[in-house]
Chains A and B, each alone.
Chain A
Amino acid sequence: MAVTVESYLKPEVIRQVARLDLRAKFIVEGFIAGLHASPFHGFSVEFSEHRKYTAGDNISDIDWNVYAKTDRFYIKKFQAETNLTGYLVMDLSGSMGYTYRQELTKFEYSISLAAALCYMMIHQQDPVGLIAFDRKVSQSLAPGSKRSQLGNILSLLAKLKPEGTTEIEASLHQVAGMLRHRSLVMLFSDLLGEPESILRAIHRLRHAGHDIIVFHILDEAEAQFPFEGMVRLEDNETHEIIEVDADAIKADYLEEVEQFRAKYRTDCVRSRIDYVPLHTGMPFDKALMSYLLTRQARA
Chain B
Amino acid sequence: MEMSLINAGLAAGAALAALPVILHLFMRQTPKHVIFPALRLVRERQRRSKKRLRVKNWLLLLARMAILALMALALSRPTLYSQVPLGDQSVPTALGLVFDTSLSMKYRDRDRTRLEEARERAREIVEKLPDSSQVFVVDSSEPGSTGLSPAAALKRIDELTIHPVSRPLNVAMGEVYDKIVGVDKPARAVYVLTDLAKTAWVAGPAEGLDKVEKLKKEKKGRMATFVLRLTPREIQNLSVATAEPSSSVVTQGEAVAIRSRIHFENSSEAPGQPPARRTVEYFIDGVKKGEKLVEIPPKGDLEVDFPSPPNLKEGELHRGEIALRGAPDPFEDDDRRYFSFKVRPAMKVLLVTDRPGVDDFFVDSALVPDPSPKAPQVYKVERRKTSELRDPGKTALSEYACIFLLNAASVDEASWGALSGYVREGGGLVIGAGSRCNPASYDTAVAGQILPGALDRIVALEGTSETHIGKVVDVTHPLFASYGQDLATELAQVPVYRYWSLRKQDPPIDGARTLLSYDDGTPCLLERTIQGPKAGRVFLWTTPLSRTAKSRGPEAWSEFPIKNWSFWAMMWFTVPYMAGTTDDTLNFEAGGPPVMLHLEPTIRYKSFTLLGPGPDPKPSPIAQPPSRGELLEIAMTPQQQQPGQWTVKALAEGDRPVTLGFSFNPPRAESQFEPMEKTDLDAVFGKDGYLFAEDADKLKEIVDTGRFGTELFPFLMFLILLVVTLESILANTFYKETPKAGAGGTSPTAA
A residues with a Cβ closer than 8 A to B are 94-95, 98, 100, 190, 192, 218-219, 221-225, 227, 229-238, 240, 242-244, 247-258, 260-261, 265, 268-269, 271-279, 281-282, 286-287, 289-290, 293-294, 297
Whether B34 pairs with A100 at a CB distance below 8 angstroms is yes
Which B580-637 residues have a C-beta within 8 angstroms of A?
none
Whether A256 pairs with B746 at a CB distance below 8 angstroms is no
Whether A235 pairs with B40 at a CB distance below 8 angstroms is yes
Residue of A nearest to B740 (CB): A224
Q: Which of the candidate stretches B45-53, B457-465, B668-676 sits at the interface with the other chain? A: B45-53
Distance (whole angstroms) from the CB of B520 to the closest CB of chain A: 95
A265-B746, A275-B749 given; A244·B46 CB < 8 A: yes
Distance (whole angstroms) from the CB of A148 to the closest CB of chain B: 31
In Å, the complex CA distance between A25 and B32 comes to: 39
Whether A269 pairs with B36 at a CB distance below 8 angstroms is no
Whether B34 pairs with A251 at a CB distance below 8 angstroms is no
In Å, the complex CA distance between A122 and B134 comes to: 114
Whether A274 pairs with B744 at a CB distance below 8 angstroms is no
Whether A222 pairs with B38 at a CB distance below 8 angstroms is yes
Whether B746 pairs with A98 at a CB distance below 8 angstroms is no
Asked whether B565 is an interface residue with its Cβ less than 8 Å from the other chain, the reply is no
In Å, the complex CA distance between A276 and B750 comes to: 9
Distance (whole angstroms) from the CB of B211 to the closest CB of chain A: 62
On chain A, the residues within 8 Å of B42 by CB distance are: 233, 242, 244, 249, 253, 256
Partner of A230, one of B31, B46, B735: B31
0/1 string, B726-746, CB within 8 A of A gives 1: 000000001111101011111
Distance (whole angstroms) from the CB of A45 to the closest CB of chain B: 18
Residue of B nearest to A276 (CB): B748
On chain B, the residues within 8 Å of A279 by CB distance are: 744-745
On chain A, the residues within 8 Å of B327 by CB distance are: none
A230-B31, A255-B738, A271-B751 given; A192·B745 CB < 8 A: no
On chain A, the residues within 8 Å of B743 by CB distance are: 223-225, 254, 257
Whether B735 pairs with A95 at a CB distance below 8 angstroms is no
Asked whether B23 is an interface residue with its Cβ less than 8 Å from the other chain, the reply is no
In Å, the complex CA distance between A164 and B737 comes to: 34
In Å, the complex CA distance between A148 and B738 comes to: 47
21 sample A-B contacts, Cβ–Cβ < 8 Å, listed by A number: A95-B37, A229-B29, A230-B29, A231-B33, A232-B32, A234-B35, A234-B36, A235-B36, A236-B35, A240-B39, A248-B53, A248-B734, A249-B42, A252-B46, A256-B44, A257-B41, A258-B742, A275-B749, A276-B749, A277-B746, A294-B750
Asked whether B503 is an interface residue with its Cβ less than 8 Å from the other chain, the reply is no
In Å, the complex CA distance between A254 and B734 comes to: 13
In Å, the complex CA distance between A296 and B16 comes to: 69
Distance (whole angstroms) from the CB of A261 to the closest CB of chain B: 7
In Å, the complex CA distance between A227 and B740 comes to: 15
On chain A, the residues within 8 Å of B36 by CB distance are: 98, 221-222, 233-236
Residue of A nearest to B745 (CB): A277
A-B residue pairs, 7 tightest by C-beta = A95-B37, A272-B751, A235-B39, A230-B31, A233-B36, A256-B45, A277-B745
Distance (whole angstroms) from the CB of B349 to the closest CB of chain A: 110
A231-B32, A236-B37, A242-B42 given; A223·B738 CB < 8 A: no
Q: Give the contact-size bracket for chain B.
A: 35 or more
On chain B, the residues within 8 Å of A258 by CB distance are: 742
In Å, the complex CA distance between A271 and B425 comes to: 128
Residue of A nearest to B35 (CB): A236
In Å, the complex CA distance between A219 and B35 comes to: 11
Asked whether B217 is an interface residue with its Cβ less than 8 Å from the other chain, the reply is no
On chain A, the residues within 8 Å of B735 by CB distance are: 247-248, 250-251
Whether A289 pairs with B748 at a CB distance below 8 angstroms is yes
Partner of B34, one of A227, A238, A250, A278: A227
Whether A232 pairs with B34 at a CB distance below 8 angstroms is yes
In Å, the complex CA distance between A233 and B734 comes to: 20
Whether B749 pairs with A269 at a CB distance below 8 angstroms is yes
In Å, the complex CA distance between A293 and B750 comes to: 8
0/1 string, B41-77, CB within 8 A of A gives 1: 1111110010001001100000000000000000000
On chain A, the residues within 8 Å of B372 by CB distance are: none
Distance (whole angstroms) from the CB of B730 to the closest CB of chain A: 11
Asked whether B505 is an interface residue with its Cβ less than 8 Å from the other chain, the reply is no
Distance (whole angstroms) from the CB of B710 to the closest CB of chain A: 41
Asked whether B747 is an interface residue with its Cβ less than 8 Å from the other chain, the reply is yes
Asked whether B550 is an interface residue with its Cβ less than 8 Å from the other chain, the reply is no
Which B484-538 residues have a C-beta within 8 angstroms of A?
none
On chain B, the residues within 8 Å of A235 by CB distance are: 36-37, 39-40
- Beyond the given pairs A95-B38, A252-B45, 6 more chain A to chain B contacts, judged by CB atoms under 8 angstroms and listed by A's residue number, are A190-B37, A222-B38, A235-B36, A244-B42, A257-B38, A257-B41
A224-B744, A261-B746 given; A249·B45 CB < 8 A: yes
Asked whether B374 is an interface residue with its Cβ less than 8 Å from the other chain, the reply is no
Distance (whole angstroms) from the CB of A258 to the closest CB of chain B: 6
Asked whether B678 is an interface residue with its Cβ less than 8 Å from the other chain, the reply is no
Distance (whole angstroms) from the CB of B175 to the closest CB of chain A: 69
Whether B742 pairs with A282 at a CB distance below 8 angstroms is no
Whether B747 pairs with A269 at a CB distance below 8 angstroms is no
Whether B749 pairs with A223 at a CB distance below 8 angstroms is no
Distance (whole angstroms) from the CB of B33 to the closest CB of chain A: 5
Distance (whole angstroms) from the CB of A235 to the closest CB of chain B: 4
Whether B37 pairs with A261 at a CB distance below 8 angstroms is no
Distance (whole angstroms) from the CB of A89 to the closest CB of chain B: 17
Distance (whole angstroms) from the CB of A133 to the closest CB of chain B: 17
Residue of B nearest to A236 (CB): B35
